[in-house]
Structure 1
Amino acid sequence: MDPRSELFNYTAGRFLANDAHRLLERRRVFNIPGLFNIIAEAMNCEAGQITDFRKLGEGGLNRIFLVTLDTKFQLVARIPYPLLIPKAYAIASEVATMDFLRLKGLPIPKVYSYSSTSNNEAATEYILMEYVEGNDLSQIWSDLKEDEIISLMDQLAKVESTLMSISFPAGGSIYYASDLKELTGSEGVTLDDHSESIASEKKGFCIGPDVSTPLWYGRRGQLDVFRGPYADAKSVLVAGANKELAYLERFGTPRAPYERFRREYYNYEQQPPSDHIRNLGYYLRLAPSLVPDDDTLSAFCIRHADLTDSNIRVSRDSGSLQIISVLDWQHAAVLPLFLLAGMPDFIQNEEDEVSQKMIKPTLPDGFDKLPEEDQDREREVLRRRLVHYHYTVSTATHNGIHHKGLVYPLNPFRRRIFTHASAMWEGETIKLLYALIDLVVGWKRIVTDGTPCPIVFTVEEINAAEKLYQALKSAESGERSLRNYVGYGDETWVPATHYETAKAFGQELKRMTLKAYADDKEMSEEGYAVVEANWPLDDMDEKELEEYK
């Protein structure tokens, strides 16, 4: 088949910056007859019985195909993009996670067959799994009525309660023991569940290395660093920081911040890794203090790694809206409860004053007299508030384990500083530094036994960090405005049909911006050239892209 076929290439969108590079990361040519043979063997049929094979969708890391047999039976073949990391670990872990959780009664698609390597007839990694009828919640999310919101949040809280009630002897990610031994030579920490798996005749689940992306990204995968199984909460808190410290000590070189709209506030200068190395050292000294006093919050549990409205499948077959499946379990990890607690991004509305106070939301007085456009806006505000409110209420009612983590004092701060310390260094350290200052200044609120804080920041250091942090918040606001004007998402993604228009609009904004700079009498030619070279919607040099790995 023609390698240019849409079956092998990304067609759902384009990228305003480094489009060719981003598309190449998502291109996967494979052997279709070979895949058909694999499907036939897995489904106990003949390859000739496959009557239709078409692309069903494209996500951030995978391409989904719908396979139809002559019996009208349908299944899904999911093939990862080259950019998936750590590929073999991620696929092996996801399959075992899905099987393990399905055995616990959770609504998760059945896996028929999989390969975590390309050493097969299809010449690609793959997962064959059950096709679940229904709709993605994202298709109806913005149109839900209050009674449907209440029902869905109730169902979701119950699903999460079942999920988070499963206890684990260690942290990391779930694997089949035989798969993990093939990958690492170790069988990990055995899980006390000897049920036969759904995907194959394999038996025996275990906990092995954590597949969270920051632990493996780019050259980090070459590092011989500890990624689990974790014995306790402290070992989780320090693993990501130790990994990044090892990466910077081996590969770290000065670089400009990856986000180009932020570079102005660093005078367009490359930043040394030494600053981040120092702050990681501070974090590692303070990390043990982040473990909650309540031991139940440090218990290991599991949660979906990226719960969104697009990976919740719903049905109205029974007359009411029902959650029938939860999809996409890549990069799921078993971690302490306090690091998993939190509202999914598509549900939380925490910046809203009404949601913060947990007041039952209603439409404003005089709503009927508002112009139609204002009424639409108020309905959307109400919908967001209702989702936030009812998720919290349902979680308190059905998932006490999670609710305890949600309301535990300063727990969002614990998650935030852990995330910043584990993240990939992209030429900045301000997020970690700012969180460290918060920890040092508020030490007595976290550590209540009177132990003195071993780190001290001077007034000058605190003021400088505050100044930069606030300036960068302004930069983020400007970047959000640019996104809204041009209409792009993460990595400058736009729908394929919008690409030419968005590209032209972005270039026109660049022209207008540079004209304003040219008219500024205080702007030097050198300064103008620097601004032009760092326009966030232009291609970045490929060598520069590789530096951030």
Structure 2
Amino acid sequence: MPMEIGRKLLLSEAATLRYLRAHSEIPVPEVYDYCASSDNEIGIPFIFMSEAPGWPLSKVWKSADSSQPSLETPTKAKIISQLGKITWKLAQLRFDKIGSLYEENNSFIIKECLSRGHMMNERCSLDIARGPFTSKEEFYDSLISALSEHAEALRLSHHCFIAPVPSRSDYLSYRQYESAVDLWNDFVTIGRKIDSSDNRLDYIVAVDALHDVIQKFQLPETYPETFPLCHPDLSVNNIYVDEDYNITCIIDWAFASTIPEPMLLTPPGLPQYRDEISSELQISFIDGFIASMSESTRENPVHRYRKSLERGRVFWKLSRLLNLDSINDYPLFSTLWKFTHGPEQDLVQYFLQQRRSAHYIQLYNEVQQEDESIFKIEKDEKDYFRNKDLRHTIANKMTLMSEWKTKYTDKRLPRLREDMFVTSANLWKWVQIFIQNWEKMSW
């Protein structure tokens, strides 16, 4: 990121930590001193803070690909319940605007929003509204604009809408998972699918549909005129615990901001923010949050909070999609679509209809101008598949099948799908079985 953005993030993180120490019981490091300018004795921007007591949760909360045993479910539930309590405490820290916290003249103020959705993945370079926002509608519109421009112009990294990255949880062994990822890489390499105009148009269609999705999500909020503070990344790397698994410190408050209440009341993603926890652990999060509410709290707010918490899983998916920090965007969007439109609505037909409209045909033609030349794509494919003849053949055949029901109405118009080919874990497993059988026959 540009140095100027780095300075803003440093100032905001320091201010957030100082505010939390002064106005809450949330365990965070103490900031002794900070400076966002390089014009100081050290010569670089810095934050001096206390050491976090305990040890990071990442040492024991093993990821799915680890050969070491992970924490037992009751211990995980204990930690998640504490995160629910911390979320309740964050819900009490309210501001009249959505944005990030800064410290000026010994007071704390809300200025432009430095959330992950506004800053990460090169989005800091986009010309979008950054707040501070006076309403949740302005905030959501800004994130949708960021996602739309991201889909249209920025690198999409591993994001292929119709070909989600394989998930470790879908495979019995890590070796099988690695093989699925290799097959996925082969598939998206053919035709450079990820940064192609076809993939970009899929994301743009999905983004445009989110306006309606968000409107149908709305629930009555306890304090709709104010916005709570939120930690941007409650991963196992940023949570410290003691020997009894009591949370001792929450670190890394860069990209923190205030947000609409429903987005706060979402279960954390563990071990990393893009990983969805089980339904059982989500209940522990809700129970921890509700248990923290004082007995004097009116029954109506408790009911409203519980209803929002129970819908938190949906907002978690929405947040992942808006920030584009997931590996399975199509399943995320499909869940949001079904939640708001019901199972009777055909998501595939919606996409096909939109892509045929005059508006998206024109947009497709514009985006297509940025596609790599066929010569460059073929050269990269040749380099990638050198000495991988079988894998090259499989990837080509799969690409041919994915485009089987695609028609060309005119050379100047985009390809018009009659169906939507979406990869899944079953597909990669079937291909793996085929390869195994082929190799046995070759012996």
> TM-score with structure 2 length normalisation?
0.58
| Residue 33 (structure 2) pairs with residue 159 (structure 1) | no
**Contact 2:84/2:285 (CA < 8 Å) preserved in 1?**
yes
Q: Which residue of 2 aligns with 1:461?
A: 352
Q: Which residue of 1 aligns with 2:222?
A: 296
| Residue 242 (structure 2) pairs with residue 315 (structure 1) | yes
SS at match of 1:309: coil
Q: Which residue of 1 aligns with 2:341?
A: 441
> Residue by residue, what CA displacement relative to the aligned partner does 1:128-168 show, whole Å, maximum 9, x if unpaired?
00123332233345676788666545544333322222222
**Contact 1:338/1:415 (CA < 8 Å) preserved in 2?**
no
**Contact 1:111/1:127 (CA < 8 Å) preserved in 2?**
yes
Amino acid at match of 2:131: G
Distance 1:219 1:350 in 2: 22
Q: Which residue of 2 aligns with 1:406?
A: 309
Q: Which residue of 1 aligns with 2:253?
A: 329
Amino acid at match of 1:222: S
Q: CA separation of 1:269/1:344 partners in 2, compared to 1, >3 Å: closer, same or farther?
A: same
Q: Which residue of 2 aligns with 1:423?
A: 324
Spell out the pairing of 1:112-511 with structure 2 (5 A cutoff).
112-141=32-61, 152-176=79-103, 178=104, 202-217=105-120, 220-246=123-149, 251=153, 261=184, 264=187, 267-270=190-193, 271-272=196-197, 273-284=200-211, 286=212, 289-296=215-222, 298=224, 300-316=227-243, 321-346=245-270, 356=279, 358=280, 390-398=284-292, 403-408=306-311, 411-423=312-324, 430=330, 434=334, 437-438=337-338, 441-442=341-342, 458=349, 461=352
Q: CA deviation at 1:335?
A: 0.6
SS at match of 1:211: coil
Q: Which residue of 1 aligns with 2:418?
A: none
SS at match of 2:247: strand
Distance 2:34 2:137 in 1: 34
> Residue by residue, what CA displacement relative to the aligned partner does 1:38-79 show, whole Å, maximum 9, x if unpaired?
xxxxxxxxxxxxxxxxxxxxxxxxxxxxxxxxxxxxxxxxxx
Amino acid at match of 2:227: F
Q: CA separation of 1:439/1:117 partners in 2, compared to 1, >3 Å: closer, same or farther?
A: farther
SS at match of 2:109: strand
Q: CA deviation at 1:306?
A: 1.1
SS at match of 2:241: strand
**Contact 2:229/2:258 (CA < 8 Å) preserved in 1?**
yes
Q: Which residue of 1 aligns with 2:18?
A: 99
Match of 1:514 among 383, 388, 407: 388
> Residue by residue, what CA displacement relative to the aligned partner does 1:77-135 show, whole Å, maximum 9, x if unpaired?
xxxxx789931221111111111111123221110111223333333222100123332
Distance 2:145 2:347 in 1: 21
SS at match of 1:206: strand
Distance 1:247 1:460 in 2: 19
Distance 2:307 2:81 in 1: 17
> Residue by residue, what CA displacement relative to the aligned partner does 1:210-267 show, whole Å, maximum 9, x if unpaired?
1123313465333342112121221121111123445566x46999967783562685
Distance 2:33 2:57 in 1: 27
Radius of gyration: which is bigger? 1
Q: CA separation of 1:423/1:155 partners in 2, compared to 1, >3 Å: closer, same or farther?
A: closer
Q: CA separation of 1:84/1:161 partners in 2, compared to 1, >3 Å: closer, same or farther?
A: farther
SS at match of 1:305: coil
**Contact 1:263/1:269 (CA < 8 Å) preserved in 2?**
no
SS at match of 1:170: coil
RCO higher in structure (CA 8 A, sep ≥6) = 2
Distance 1:424 1:156 in 2: 21
**Contact 1:234/1:288 (CA < 8 Å) preserved in 2?**
no
User: Any stretches of 5+ residues in structure 2 without a counterpart?
Assistant: 62-68, 166-181, 294-301, 356-383, 401-443
> Residue by residue, what CA displacement relative to the aligned partner does 1:421-474 show, whole Å, maximum 9, x if unpaired?
443899x98568646753663299xxxxxxxx9x9973683899xxxxxxxxxx
**Contact 2:11/2:102 (CA < 8 Å) preserved in 1?**
yes
SS at match of 1:97: helix
**Contact 1:155/1:323 (CA < 8 Å) preserved in 2?**
yes
| Residue 6 (structure 2) pairs with residue 87 (structure 1) | yes
Q: CA RMSD in A?
A: 4.7
**Contact 2:99/2:113 (CA < 8 Å) preserved in 1?**
yes
> Residue by residue, what CA displacement relative to the aligned partner does 1:329-353 show, whole Å, maximum 9, x if unpaired?
111121112112222222799989x
Distance 1:306 1:167 in 2: 19
Distance 1:393 1:170 in 2: 29
SS at match of 2:131: coil
